[in-house]
Structure 1
Amino acid sequence: MASNNTLRSYSIIPCFIFVELVIMSGTVLLAYYMECTDLFSVHVQGFFCNDADLMKPYPGTEESSFVPPLILYCVVAAAPTAIIFIGEVSMYMMKSTREALLAQEKTIVTGDCCYLNPLTRRIIRFIGVFAFGLFATDIFVNAGQVVTGGLSPYFLSVCKPNYTGTECRFNHQFIVNGNICTGNHVVVEKARRSFPSKDASLSVYSAVYLTMYITSTIKTKSSRLAKPVLCLGTLCSAFLTGLNRVSEYRNHCSDVVAGFILGSAIALFLGICVVNNFKGVHSAAAKQKTEEYRGLPLMTFPRVESPLETLSAQNHSASMTEVT
Structure 2
Amino acid sequence: MFESPEILLILLDAACLTLVGLPFCILNNQQRPFKRGFFCNDESIRYPLKDDTISYQLLGGVMIPFCLIVIICGEILSVYLSRIKNQLLGKRYVSCLYKAVGSYLFGAAANQSLTDIAKYSIGRLRPHFLAACKPAWERINCTAGGYVENFTCSDTLQEDEARLSFYSGHSSFSMYCMLFLIMYLQARLKSKWTRLLRPTIQFFLFVTAVYVGLTRVSDYKHHWSDVFVGLLNGGFVAVFTVFCVSNFFAQPVKPVVSQQEDVGHNLQEPSSGNHYGSTD
Give yes or no for TM over 0.5. Answer: yes
- Distance in 2 between the 1:120 and 1:280 partners? 20
Of residues 70, 74, 93, the one that matches 2:80 is 93
- Distance in 1 between the 2:110 and 2:157 partners? 25
1:34 aligns with 2:27: yes
Of residues 147, 160, 170, the one that matches 1:174 is 147
1:162 aligns with 2:149: no
Contact 1:209 1:271 in 2 (8 A): yes
Mark the CA change 1:13 to 1:176 in structure 2 (over 3 Å): closer, same or farther.
Answer: same
Of residues 88, 104, 112, the one that matches 1:138 is 112
- Percent same amino acid among aligned pairs? 25
SS of the counterpart of 2:160? helix
Superposed counterparts of 1:89-128, under 5 Å:
89-94=76-81, 98-99=82-83, 102=84, 107=87, 117-128=91-102
1:194 aligns with 2:165: yes
Over aligned residue pairs, what C-alpha RMSD do you find? Answer: 2.5
1:77 aligns with 2:71: no
SS of the counterpart of 2:192? coil
Mark the runs of 5 or more structure 2 residues left unpaired by the alignment.
Answer: 260-280
1:16 aligns with 2:10: yes
What is the letter of the counterpart of residue 25 of structure 1? Answer: T
Contact 1:214 1:227 in 2 (8 A): yes
- 2:35 aligns to what? 44
CA deviation vs aligned residue, 1:188-237 (integer Å, no higher than 9, x gap): 11100010100001000001111100001122312422111111111110
Contact 2:126 2:163 in 1 (8 A): yes
What is the letter of the counterpart of residue 175 of structure 1? Answer: V
Contact 1:58 1:154 in 2 (8 A): yes
Q: How many residues align?
A: 255
Offset of residue 183 of structure 1: 2.3
- Distance in 1 between the 2:140 and 2:162 partners? 24
- 2:264 aligns to what? none
- 2:275 aligns to what? none
Mark the CA change 1:166 to 1:280 in structure 2 (over 3 Å): closer, same or farther.
Answer: same
Contact 1:49 1:156 in 2 (8 A): no
Offset of residue 71 of structure 1: 1.3
- Distance in 2 between the 1:181 and 1:258 partners? 30
Superposed structure 1 runs of 4+ greater than 4 Å apart = 280-285
Mark the runs of 5 or more structure 1 residues left unpaired by the alignment.
Answer: 1-7, 109-114, 286-324
- Bigger shift: 203-212 or 74-83? 74-83
Contact 1:48 1:171 in 2 (8 A): no
Contact 1:126 1:278 in 2 (8 A): no
Offset of residue 258 of structure 1: 1.0
Contact 2:21 2:112 in 1 (8 A): no
Mark the CA change 1:166 to 1:72 in structure 2 (over 3 Å): closer, same or farther.
Answer: closer
Contact 1:198 1:259 in 2 (8 A): yes
SS of the counterpart of 2:67? helix
Offset of residue 164 of structure 1: 3.9
Mark the CA change 1:280 to 1:185 in structure 2 (over 3 Å): closer, same or farther.
Answer: farther
- 2:121 aligns to what? 147
What is the letter of the counterpart of residue 243 of structure 1? Answer: L
Offset of residue 280 of structure 1: 6.5
Contact 1:150 1:193 in 2 (8 A): yes
Of residues 161, 170, 176, the one that matches 1:205 is 176
- Distance in 2 between the 1:10 and 1:161 partners? 60
CA deviation vs aligned residue, 1:78-118 (integer Å, no higher than 9, x gap): 11110011111122223xxx14xx39xx958xxxxxx8733
Structure possessing the higher relative contact order (Cα contacts under 8 Å, 6 or more residues apart): 2
What is the letter of the counterpart of residue 176 of structure 1? Answer: E
Mark the CA change 1:242 to 1:149 in structure 2 (over 3 Å): closer, same or farther.
Answer: same
Offset of residue 14 of structure 1: 1.6
1:268 aligns with 2:239: yes
